Structure 1
Amino acid sequence: MDCRVNNDSCGLDLQPMIRPLNVYSQGDLRREATRGGKSDRFSRRLRKLVWVLMFLGQTANSAAAVEERLTLRFVVAQAADQIPDLTTDTEPSTAQEYLVDSSEGGWWLLTLPPATEESTGGRVLYFQQAHTARIGLLLPTQEELVWRQRIKAPGPAWGVHMDLPVLLPPELDGGGRMLLHFSDVSNRRIVPKLAGLDSYLQNSARLKAIFVACASALLIMALLSFGFQRGFDDRSYGYLAFFAAASAAYVISMSGELYLLLPGGYSFISVGTAFERSSAGLSLIFSLLFINRFLQLEQRRPRAQRLLLVLVWAQLLVVVSNWIQPQSPHPAAALAGNVLVLLAIPVVFIEALKALRDGIKSGLFVLLAWTPSLLTLCLWIAILQGWLHSQVDLLPLVSIGMVLQVAVLSLGLAEAGYRLRRERDLAESKANLDPLTGLLNRRALDRRLQELSAAADQTGEPLTLLFLDLDHFKQINDSHGHAIGDDCLRHLGRLISSMVRANDPVARYGGEEFLVVLPGLDTTGARALAESIRQRIETTPLVTDNATVHLKASLGLSRWRPGKDTVATMTARADQALYMAKREGRNRVVVATEPGAEDSVAVLP
């Protein structure tokens, strides 16, 4: 009988769903997987993508496929190759709601209701949370069992990988009974569900979009973190990048999209379980390494750091153990890895709270990143281990939680980096500034003068240096006190800065001496500016509550001689010109004498 079903609305040939699958044939799986459509395109902006993910997470479980009621009875506990005869074997037990495993697996009788109007286009039988189950169905149109197993035989590409979907033939639209063989190494309770094809396809497409979107967002953040790590040379970005990449690997493999979307994805089928567990373990390892550095535990809490490192090494051993037999890792490895996750959660929370108490803002970001996903992660682990029996599919919420966790930690790391750079810039600024006047200090001016003189050599532009000294400053201190003397120096710095261009370096060289560098200004222009500064100082006294102090200053000028001068010689000649101004009566401007020139030029008031 031809059981081919065509659905023009989704453009899929659904014949593979009623064909028996060989568990050990990767070729059959590859042919079925290629029938799936292309993945959706997602927004380039990460912020918009996160909001979309949050919206999808809220609607993931609320928009589940419309389900029909099933009747399930246990028949007999025996191997899959021993199909029971219901006419002679033991009568089926009373009706149950879920499948449970026996020591070697067992046969169950599934009674299907007639198709409703909503499912006239075909019906899909699927099994949520069947992570480690192996299910064989004896359809009335087949002589062999149709096998489903999450990694080796998950079903067609349009189905959700963990649902193990089977498209039922039209012969069962009127209802009927069929046998299925169920075995599972875990203690989970699996509830078979029945839904119309159109309803199931809509829900499947929505869930696939969530998984691919989450994995894409995590990979984008991993690449950005790798870039920042190279730019800032901070291992924190590297740990965060590996954390995001491992989380993306877990989401894309656990959902099954790895085997469908990536070229060569089917090469992972034989080691799919080991790959999933290793991705989860590496995610925990790099998240703990990141938190250790982010919360500064090495400096603040060495004992807590050692505890986290013990968890890291223990999880690393679990990851390695998964690859001893990668085709069938021991369930104890999964249990050990999940227990380590549960142990790490309270440690991280306690250290984040203590960091916040100590005034470290990074603790707040850790709490914001871990708190929303804590309950979901704990429930997910409990369901995986069979400790909690629930039919709520938490993988979409776990995936979205991973994205939000990495995003919040990325923001926290960026904020911490900005704060450190700001503190470093402030410290560097303080190291380069005179604390009294706020002008450049001598060290900063020497460095700036080196840069400007090198530029003058290359461009041929003029460069002049103005050396200024406050006249009779000792008498001011003696007469009015050192506090007024300090006010005079600040007043003088403000006057000089107001007279020069914004890019002209002004520095307090020491005591009452000031230096001004004038790039692009020749001797004539610099001398005119120096005279204007001298007159401004003389005509603008310092007025305080207790006194009015009249100031005068002497100034010396020197110009840069390309190929002949050094910063030291240029400064020395300006200092010599200042000495001559002092000797000739103060309150004047003197231009330094150059070798071979006549007497220096003094501009008198």
Structure 2
Amino acid sequence: MGGRQWQYGTGAVLVVLLAWLAMPWPLQGAVAVSGRDYLLVGGATDEPTPHRACTPQMLSGSRQHVLVPAPPEGWSGQPQALDVFNVFAGEVRVQHGDREICGNMHDARTRDSRFRAGIGLVAVPPAGSHEPFLVSWQTPLKARWVPTLRLGAPSPVQQNDTARLLMRAACIAVAIALALSALMAFLTTRDRSFLVYVAGTTVMVLWQAILGGLSGYPEPWLPVGEHGARWLLSLTAASQALVLPALWRLNGGDRVLPRSRPAQLLVLWTLMALAALVPWLRWEHLAWVAQGLQVSYLSGCGLALLVGIWARWRGDRWSQAGLAALAPMLALIIADACGAQWLLEYRVEALQLAVTWLLMMAAYALNQRLGRLRQQRDELRQLAETDGLTGLPNRRAGLQQLGRHLERVNREGGPLVIGFLDIDLFKDINDRHGHAVGDQVLVAVARALRTAVRSQDEVVRMGGEEFLLLMPGMPREAASARLDRLRQRITEAGLALQVAGLEVTASIGLAQWRPGEDDLAALLRRADHAMYVAKRAGRNRVFDGEELDPPGPA
């Protein structure tokens, strides 16, 4: 019922979307030109280019100042672009001569529209001039998180800025896609692990948006304002609260050390409490929080690496995903310790790529978990619905299959015939030849029946020496002939066992579904009754129950 509701709901949503797209919406500001093969949208404007002047309030507080000097021979007289990246909080000021801009990474409206990943300025210094560019920014909370300044011709500088923006947006898009996929898996399986993944990925998306400045693009959609540092620290703590236990589990920590769960919960709730506390801390305390988060991150990655190596050494192949997820983070930690210039320049993009890889490995591990759950479910279903001796569906599974056939016949029409089979004198076979031979007889009969039908689901062991054959879509006369051939095959299968004095025969009762008269129990009763009539008539034969109890007039 739930699946049908889901299908109906999805269909209704698609119909609404198609209807919305098909409606002739007017294009605001569009100019339709008769006889032309183009469409002009928008219109002329009298609004000036946005320019945000710097104020003393913007430039207050602890700031760092840098002079970008001219070449020794002076400026060439050509346009120069200066772009500032990796400033995570506060205002960035870029000035040359009478040109000045103050921009905030968390509000794209405050920046030159030619620069989206950084705060940039294009100026044309006079030829031979030595006047430098003046740049200032809020002092970073972490000493190694230094800004990057790129100077050059406007076109390549802007291309580099655009490439950074695309990389940052792509990482967030991948994270959102993974979260939606996990949400669909949760709706299907109701496994809370997928819901935890969705929550963790959502936090990581917000963290990446703050880190890369996309929280303010094209307009602010998070209330960051002047509190970018607090937002970044708070989301960093929340991210670590989810990432560090996840790395521990991905690397097999919960399997190697089953009693580590209380420690994982302690880490999670401590970091979550710190994330909630950050907005209320004084500014001078935020640097301590940043250093503490750095220590917790390094410690968590180190412990995850050790437990992953230990688990892999013990033969835990599932820890490979955890070690793979950890590899980019370890590379960044080593590069940071070595002061690698590429990391200083592309720190945001490197961090986002590492986080994206982690999310992909976590999704891979969840899919592996889903596969194991499905395999376990299928194995349990196999045990619950399969006869252990013959490998045929048992009575429970067979009756469910018969019920599905009846629903289809009632809906689509067509014949449905069943045969109820009982091995003749099976108790005597057990008493005379032993139960081991009796089991061989059951297996041989099951094999003979299975090779004569289209699907294994159409042969059922009802219990003991009784079997049920389902023949949907087959006319009664053809079904009777098939059952008679099966009866002969059973005798041949008994002879193939080469047990002295063993003779295997079967009595089979046939019954056909009567729409409007029968139910499942009545159909089985008529087939069972026909089988007993075959036994009373001398065994080793097929009896058509429709001859014994003809259907009433239509």
Residue 364 of structure 2, aligned match among 408, 411, 433: 411
Residue 319 of structure 1 corresponds to which residue in structure 2?
275
Q: What amino acid maps onto 2:207 in structure 1? A: Y
**Counterpart-to-counterpart distance in 2, 1:559 and 1:104:** 91
Say if 1:179 and 1:392 are closer, same or farther in 2 by CA, change over 3 A.
closer
**Counterpart-to-counterpart distance in 2, 1:202 and 1:388:** 20
SS in 2 for 1:158: coil
Residues 23-172 of structure 1: pairs in structure 2 closer than 5 A: 111-114=69-72, 121-125=78-82, 130-131=87-88, 139-141=96-98, 155-159=111-115, 161=117, 164-171=119-126
**Counterpart-to-counterpart distance in 1, 2:363 and 2:80:** 44
1:211 is displaced (CA, Å) by 1.4
Q: What amino acid maps onto 2:360 in structure 1? A: A
Residue 3 of structure 2 corresponds to which residue in structure 1?
none
Residues 303-314 of structure 1: pairs in structure 2 closer than 5 A: 303-314=259-270
Say if 1:500 and 1:108 are closer, same or farther in 2 by CA, change over 3 A.
closer
Residue 219 of structure 1, aligned match among 176, 194, 197: 176
Residue 436 of structure 1, aligned match among 353, 377, 389: 389
Residue 447 of structure 2 corresponds to which residue in structure 1?
494
1:421 is displaced (CA, Å) by 0.7
| Deviation readout 1:180-210 (Å, 9 max, x if unpaired) | 7676254456786643433322322222221
Say if 1:217 and 1:182 are closer, same or farther in 2 by CA, change over 3 A.
closer
Structure 2 residues without counterparts, runs of 5 or longer: 1-47
**Counterpart-to-counterpart distance in 2, 1:374 and 1:173:** 47
Say if 1:544 and 1:554 are closer, same or farther in 2 by CA, change over 3 A.
closer
**Counterpart-to-counterpart distance in 1, 2:225 and 2:186:** 33
1:417 is displaced (CA, Å) by 1.0
| Deviation readout 1:439-476 (Å, 9 max, x if unpaired) | 11112112222333344455554433312122243454
Say if 1:499 and 1:184 are closer, same or farther in 2 by CA, change over 3 A.
closer
**Counterpart-to-counterpart distance in 2, 1:234 and 1:315:** 25
Residue 230 of structure 1 corresponds to which residue in structure 2?
187
User: Is the contact made by 1:553 and 1:586 (CA closer than 8 Å) also made in structure 2?
Assistant: yes
User: Is the contact made by 2:422 and 2:466 (CA closer than 8 Å) also made in structure 1?
Assistant: yes
**Counterpart-to-counterpart distance in 1, 2:445 and 2:414:** 29
Residue 375 of structure 2, aligned match among 407, 422, 432: 422
Q: Which moved more, 1:513-522 or 1:285-294?
A: 285-294
**Counterpart-to-counterpart distance in 1, 2:165 and 2:94:** 25
Q: What amino acid maps onto 2:237 in structure 1? A: G
Say if 1:157 and 1:315 are closer, same or farther in 2 by CA, change over 3 A.
farther
Q: What amino acid maps onto 2:211 in structure 1? A: M
| Deviation readout 1:116-162 (Å, 9 max, x if unpaired) | 89x763224455655568776774447xx865665589853434655
User: Is the contact made by 2:106 and 2:217 (CA closer than 8 Å) also made in structure 1?
Assistant: no
Residue 55 of structure 2 corresponds to which residue in structure 1?
22
**Counterpart-to-counterpart distance in 2, 1:17 and 1:460:** 73
User: Is the contact made by 2:117 and 2:165 (CA closer than 8 Å) also made in structure 1?
Assistant: no
Say if 1:356 and 1:260 are closer, same or farther in 2 by CA, change over 3 A.
same
Q: What amino acid maps onto 2:509 in structure 1? A: G
Instruction: Normalising by structure 1, report the TM-score.
Output: 0.70
Say if 1:107 and 1:343 are closer, same or farther in 2 by CA, change over 3 A.
closer
User: Is the contact made by 2:248 and 2:304 (CA closer than 8 Å) also made in structure 1?
Assistant: no
Aligned: 1:174 with 2:174? no
Residue 372 of structure 1 corresponds to which residue in structure 2?
328
Residue 211 of structure 2 corresponds to which residue in structure 1?
254
Aligned positions, number: 501
Instruction: Normalising by structure 2, report the TM-score.
Output: 0.75
1:316 is displaced (CA, Å) by 0.9
Residue 39 of structure 1 corresponds to which residue in structure 2?
none
User: Is the contact made by 2:95 and 2:134 (CA closer than 8 Å) also made in structure 1?
Assistant: yes
Residue 485 of structure 1, aligned match among 431, 434, 438: 438
**Counterpart-to-counterpart distance in 1, 2:148 and 2:412:** 82
**Counterpart-to-counterpart distance in 1, 2:62 and 2:465:** 95
Structure 1 residues without counterparts, runs of 5 or longer: 1-14, 26-79, 82-102, 599-605
User: Is the contact made by 2:54 and 2:93 (CA closer than 8 Å) also made in structure 1?
Assistant: no
Residue 528 of structure 2, aligned match among 572, 575, 593: 575
1:554 is displaced (CA, Å) by 1.5
Say if 1:177 and 1:208 are closer, same or farther in 2 by CA, change over 3 A.
closer
Residues 383-398 of structure 1: pairs in structure 2 closer than 5 A: 391-398=344-351
**Counterpart-to-counterpart distance in 2, 1:156 and 1:130:** 16
Say if 1:540 and 1:583 are closer, same or farther in 2 by CA, change over 3 A.
same
Q: What amino acid maps onto 2:403 in structure 1? A: Q
Residue 504 of structure 2, aligned match among 526, 551, 557: 551
Percent identity between the aligned chains?
Answer: 25
| Deviation readout 1:75-134 (Å, 9 max, x if unpaired) | xxxxx89xxxxxxxxxxxxxxxxxxxxx966877664324689x7632244556555687
Residue 345 of structure 1, aligned match among 297, 301, 306: 301
| Deviation readout 1:53-80 (Å, 9 max, x if unpaired) | xxxxxxxxxxxxxxxxxxxxxxxxxxx8
RMSD, aligned α-carbons: 4.2
User: Is the contact made by 2:174 and 2:356 (CA closer than 8 Å) also made in structure 1?
Assistant: yes
Residue 139 of structure 2 corresponds to which residue in structure 1?
184
SS in 1 for 2:183: helix
Residues 507-546 of structure 1: pairs in structure 2 closer than 5 A: 507-544=460-497
1:428 is displaced (CA, Å) by 0.8
Residue 27 of structure 2 corresponds to which residue in structure 1?
none
| Deviation readout 1:215-266 (Å, 9 max, x if unpaired) | 22222222222222222212222222233333232223222233233x4448
Residues 329-340 of structure 1: pairs in structure 2 closer than 5 A: 330-340=286-296
